[in-house]
Amino acid sequence: ALRTRYGISPDSIVLYGQSIGTVPTVDLASRYECAAVVLHSPLTSGMRVAFPDTKKTYCFDAFPNIEKVSKIMSPVLIIHGTEDEVIDFSHGLALYERCPKAVEPLWVEGAGHNDIELYSQYLERLRRFISQELPSQRV
């Protein structure tokens, strides 16, 4: 809609998703061009959150980020707290390892699921990603 209705260039679009919001973010970014993607406390899949010992993606898993992230062709910044009590830190790490365009992630030592924004390195890392790590013609 941004591209067609408002004429906004994909080079001007940064997709940002947090927690369950990373599901539509990954889905869009895996199918459409954009300048960049930020995944904040992302999940690998719904089944893997509900059942942590799950190692594969099932056809009925409505949130298969782990299967789609490898299709993202834009730079991706992954941010995750090491003490996340909702979506284990291992989810962020697994997505980082499968993402072909991942930049240096931000692992926030001691941060949980809903407090990453309170750490000073959060805004510093976002600023650096947008202002220095994206190609100059973007954003």
Q: What is the rounded CA–CA span in Å between residue 43 and residue 6?
A: 31
Is pLDDT of 62 > 80? no
b/e map of 7-34 (b: 16 or more CB within 10 Å)?
Answer: eeeeeebbbebbbeebbebbbbbbeeeb
pLDDT in tens, 111-133: 999 999 999 999 999 999 999 99
Which of the two residues, 2 and 126, has the higher pLDDT score?
Answer: 126
At 30, give phi and psi (nearest 5°). Answer: -80, -15
pLDDT in tens, 68-99: 999 999 999 999 999 999 999 999 999 999 99
- The pLDDT mean for the chain works out to 89
pLDDT in the model for residue 61: 62
Catalytic residues: 19, 84, 113
Task: Give the number of C-alpha atoms closer than 13 A to the C-alpha of residue 18, restricted to the C-beta side.
Answer: 8
Domains of the chain listed by start with CATH number:
11-132 (3.40.50.1820)
Question: Which amino acid, one-letter code, is at 114?
Answer: N
Which of the two residues, 4 and 106, has the higher pLDDT score?
Answer: 106
pLDDT in tens, 21-58: 999 999 999 999 999 999 999 998 765 665 567 776 66
Q: To the nearest whole percent, how much of the chain has pLDDT over 90?
A: 73
